[in-house]
Amino acid sequence: MVEIVKKIVSSSKYNIKCPYKMTPTRIVVHNTANDASALNEISYMNSNNNETSYHYAVDDKMIVQGLPLDRNGWHAGDGNGKGNREGIAIEICYSKSGGSKFDKAEENAADLIAYLLKKYGWGINKVTKHQDYAKKYCPHRTLDKGWDRFIKMVESRLGSTSTKQPNTSKSTTFKVIYQTWDDVKNKWLPNVINDSDYAGIFGHDVCCVYANANEGDIYYKVHVKGGKWLPEVKNRNDYAGLYNKPIDGFMIKSSAKKLKYRVHLRRSKKWLSWVTGYSTIDSNNGFAGILGQEIDAIQIKEA
């Protein structure tokens, strides 16, 4: 891990920047949305009198700490919620322009997060993002590049303790786990397992889909309304879809099981028939949806 440089804010500013004692319970990941270095990011935070503050800024060369870890920051947009009052905030630098400096900053942030998880004895589920607390698309570039990819970067640094045990129980039920991005609420809806429920809210366009299974690999694609089929996504390496772009076609398959799936149409308020294929040729029962008609819910299960 690169060096951690401590530039802790003056205690005379604790009342503005970190007024409360804190017992941290989680990490909250941010992107700065600018192109400042970590040192400049923390210097700026420490020098102004805004109620905006974060524990660390990380760039391609160093990690700079600006707040003590036993005091809160103001970064998550949730007032006195768990993000602000229980979260260790990490800002990843150079997210505005991206490129190799940002990529290295993300790697350094993954090192720092793995270090903090070990220090506090936390699991990977303690790594959260700004977006989990407020209606804000942050960490924007980390999300664009794939949140699950970033989580895997952290996991890979945790060592063998986090490697999954081989699945020895043959009686385990096959589970597809999936969720959709709600364009009205502007957030990911909760995960759904098989057809115990459906993913989506009737009347709200689905824009993006995330899916994986407890066995084998899942592959899926969406068609953007008025646009085209987007590239195939595997498991949760990425999500399928574009924010704020309703989808009108969906297809999914598994390497382990035959799946069937269906979609609900927002305007005609009905479920279409179950589909088992995986092809852009609709006559081949290849995908679920009718091009031109927005999808507002999805269901997936083993065929």
Could you say whether residue 129 binds Zn ion (CB under 5 A)?
A: no
* 7/68 Cα distance (integer angstroms): 10
Scan residues 1-40 and list those touching Zn ion (CB under 5 A): 30
Q: Three-state DSSP class for 115?
A: helix
What single letter denotes the amino acid at residue 195? D
Nearer to Zn ion (CB atom), residue 30 or residue 141? 30
Give the range of 95-103, 136-144, 164-172, 252-260 binding Zn ion by CB under 5 A.
136-144
Please state the closest distance from residue 151 (CB atom) to Zn ion, in A. 17
Please state the closest distance from residue 28 (CB atom) to Zn ion, in A. 8
Nearer to Zn ion (CB atom), residue 67 or residue 138? 138
Nearer to Zn ion (CB atom), residue 87 or residue 246? 87
Kindly tell me which residue out of 45, 57, 63, 138 binds Zn ion, with binding defined by CB under 5 A. Answer: 138
Could you say whether residue 204 binds Zn ion (CB under 5 A)?
A: no
Helix axes 100-120, 147-156, angle to 10 degrees: 60
Element (H, E) at 199: strand 199-200
* 277/44 Cα distance (integer angstroms): 55
User: What tokens were used for 120?
Assistant: 């506090």
Sheet holding 26-31, edge to edge: 4-6, 63-65, 56-58, 87-92, 26-31, 127-129
Nearer to Zn ion (CB atom), residue 30 or residue 55? 30
Nearer to Zn ion (CB atom), residue 41 or residue 296? 41
Length, in residues, of the chain: 303
Please state the closest distance from residue 93 (CB atom) to Zn ion, in A. 12
Question: By CB under 5 A, how many residues form the interface with Zn ion?
Answer: 3
Q: Three-state DSSP class for 215?
A: coil
Nearer to Zn ion (CB atom), residue 30 or residue 264? 30
Kindly tell me which residue out of 130, 221, 236, 266 binds Zn ion, with binding defined by CB under 5 A. Answer: 130
Tell me if 176 sits within 8 A of 236, measured CB to CB: no
Please state the closest distance from residue 139 (CB atom) to Zn ion, in A. 6
Nearer to Zn ion (CB atom), residue 154 or residue 251? 154
* 254/171 Cα distance (integer angstroms): 18
Q: Give which of 157, 154, 123, 121 is closest to 29, Cα–Cα.
A: 154
Residues that bind Zn ion (CB under 5 A): 30, 130, 138
